Structure 1
Amino acid sequence: MRFQRVLPRLLILAALSGSSITAIAQEAQCKKTVYLTFDTGNMSVAQTVADILYRQNVKATFFLANEKTNRGDFALDDSWKAYWQERLKEGHHFGSHTYDHVYFVKDGPSGEIFAKPQFGPRAGITSLYNEASYCREIRRVDDRFKELTGSNLQRIWRAPGGKISPRSVKMGNLCGYQHIGWQPAGFLGDELSSQTHPNQMLLDKASSQIQDGDITMAHLGIWSRKDPWAPAVLEHLIVNLKARGFCFATLPKQDK
């Protein structure tokens, strides 16, 4: 009876490809954890990122804003519905990046903050946000994601550019969303000039400097970089980190 129970499992393992078996073995042996995260950006390499994560059997966390894409639409338009639905089915996690990609500027005079949307009807205009209006900006992504996928975000958010103050973080907390930044080693550099920071340099740096528990940050496309980062770096980085004994987890971090 014991042999009968074990045999189907052996057959299943035998049916797996060599790369899949290797991936399973690596995950079983890993001793460290890294959290890959991606902000929307212009979405030009969105499918490339998705394909690499799927091929490597890695889950990531995406922070969404309604940013203009290289297709001329916006990242939370209906035209991206299937993309987000597929990522949800694959088991990735999602957070808010503020709906109109609102950059924190400075604290205001009476408990508010000054912030400037990059998109939307008030794009480029610095305005005062109180707790309610800033919460609305964070939660709008959650509401729209529910319309697109039928599911809510995780209760996390990331300020555009990582620009925050204790007051803006507290506003997010009071709204029910935990702010997620990244570690210095986790800044993957995809928004830097490819002339001064070529892909190989960025790959070597991240592969060697990322440490246990680090959160990384890259984008699904950047307007200004001549040589896109993700097609050249992402898969090599994942392979290198697996070789260093890393597992890949989603946010928010779970208490051990």
Structure 2
Amino acid sequence: MHRAAEALRQGVAAAVSLAAVVCGAAASAASCDKPVYLSFDTGHMGVAPLVADVLQRQQVKVTFFLANERTLSGGSSLDEQWAPWWKARAAEGHAFGSHTWDHWVWRADQGAGFRVKPTAGAQTGRTLKVSAADYCAALKHPLQRFEQMTGQRALPLFRAPAGRTSPSLLKAAEACGFMHVPWSPAGFLGDELPSDKYPNTQLLANALRDIRPGDILLAHLGIWSRQDAWAPAVLEPLIEGLKGRGLCFATLREHPDYRAWIAAHPLR
């Protein structure tokens, strides 16, 4: 009886927590009439704690796209070291999608499958031939790990590494329940670019000048090749500057292009 009662208590607590997140997201969406959709792909995670601090201080909700990438500490972005960090972000009401487990960059269609090049995992740098079923499994794997870490389910959305896709790849992903999320031209925030040619001051000025309501914005939780980290140096001034222009922030749960897909394709 004690075990049953405890299980019931935990179930009720989880339901209440989920309801609070959903209600909070709905309230935020209702009050946000000029939204932009800030998203982060995983990276080396070196700036992840600072990003979380800024988002919490600014009360901004974003969408994270998850891959199991190599980190500065020598582990990976979805390992046990990072599980508490992801659990905290889930509790704050952020949204989550897939970036493929080993960060598979599409290179070409090949027969009924694809050629991809992982930039994470044991086969980093090799060109692999994978089937549509393989790609589907690679989409599901990080979100299964996310649910294991947080107790919450992610969204049926993905972002292809490097944004590289083909009509066949998108069709295969949709067949297993995933819709692709690119970024807006003005939403490319430039944190992948070399610091000497694209300093943070320039990236900030460009973003504040060009971003418009409805844009999907792209940044990362750490880029190996950039010397002067984009986050948090640009992140907080960008958020404050866009707020000052009357824009607000929402997750892709609220995006009009994805709401119906999310409702019709719950992850199992």
TM-score range, shorter chain: 0.7 to 0.9
Q: 1:121 deviation in Å?
A: 2.7
Letter in 2 for 1:125: R
Q: Deviations over 1:78-118 (max 9, x none)?
A: 1101000000010000011000010100111x221111111
Task: Normalising by structure 1, report the TM-score.
Answer: 0.86
Structure 2 match to 1:115: 116
User: Residue deviations 1:43-62, cap 9 Å, x none?
Assistant: 01001111001000100000
Gaps of 5+ in 1: 1-26
AA of the residue aligned to 2:141: R
Instruction: Answer whether contact 1:29 1:245 (CA < 8 A) is retained.
Output: no
The question of 1:218 aligning with 2:254 is answered: no
**Which residue matches 1:33?**
35
Secondary structure class of the residue paired with 2:153: coil
TM-score relative to the length of structure 2: 0.82
Q: Percent identity?
A: 50
Whichever residue aligns with residue 91 of structure 2, its letter is K
Structure-2 separation of matches of 1:249 and 1:30: 7
8 Å Cα contact 2:32/2:249 also seen in 1: no
Pick which of 144-153 and 194-203 moved more.
144-153
Counterpart of 1:100, as a letter, is D
- Which of 62, 65, 69 does residue 63 from structure 1 map onto? 65
- Say what the alpha-carbon RMSD is for the aligned residues: 1.7
Counterpart position of 1:204: 205
2-structure distance, mates of 1:75, 1:164: 23
Does structure 2 conserve the Cα–Cα contact (< 8 Å) formed by 1:96 and 1:138? Answer: yes
Higher-Rg member (1/2): 1
2:137 aligned partner, one-letter code? R
Asked whether the 8 Å contact 2:69–2:76 carries over to 1, the reply is: yes
1:28 offset after TM fit, Å?
A: 8.9
Against the structure 1 CA distance between its residues 208 and 30, is the aligned structure 2 distance closer, same or farther, given a 3 Å change threshold?
A: farther
Specify which of 64, 85, 88 is matched with residue 86 of structure 1: 88
Work out whether residues 66 and 143 of structure 2, in 8 Å CA contact, stay in contact via their aligned partners in 1. Answer: no
Deviating 4+ runs (over 6 angstroms)? none
Query: What amino acid sits opposite 2:180 in the alignment?
Result: H
Tell me the equivalent position of 1:14: none
Q: Shift in Å at residue 31 of structure 1?
A: 3.7
Residue of structure 1 equivalent to 2:251: 250
Q: How does 1:37-52 map to 2 (within 5 A)?
A: 37-52=39-54
Q: Which residue in the other structure is 1:174 paired with?
A: 175
Rounded to whole Å, the distance in 1 between the matches of 2:158 and 2:102 is 13
Counterpart residue number, 2:231: 230
Partner residue in 2 for 1:124? 125
Superposed CA offset, 1:202-243 (max 9, x none): 000001101111000000011111110012100000011011
Instruction: Identify if the C-alpha distance between structure 1 residues 73 and 209 changes in structure 2 by more than 3 Å, giving closer, same or farther.
Output: same
- Give the superposition deviation at 1:123: 2.0
Q: Which moved more, 1:121-130 or 1:83-92?
A: 121-130
83-92 vs 167-176, which deviates more?
Answer: 167-176
Give, in whole Å, the separation in 2 of the partners of 1:116 and 1:173. Answer: 21
Matched residue SS, 2:65:
strand
How many residues align? The count is: 230
Matched, 1:150 2:151: yes
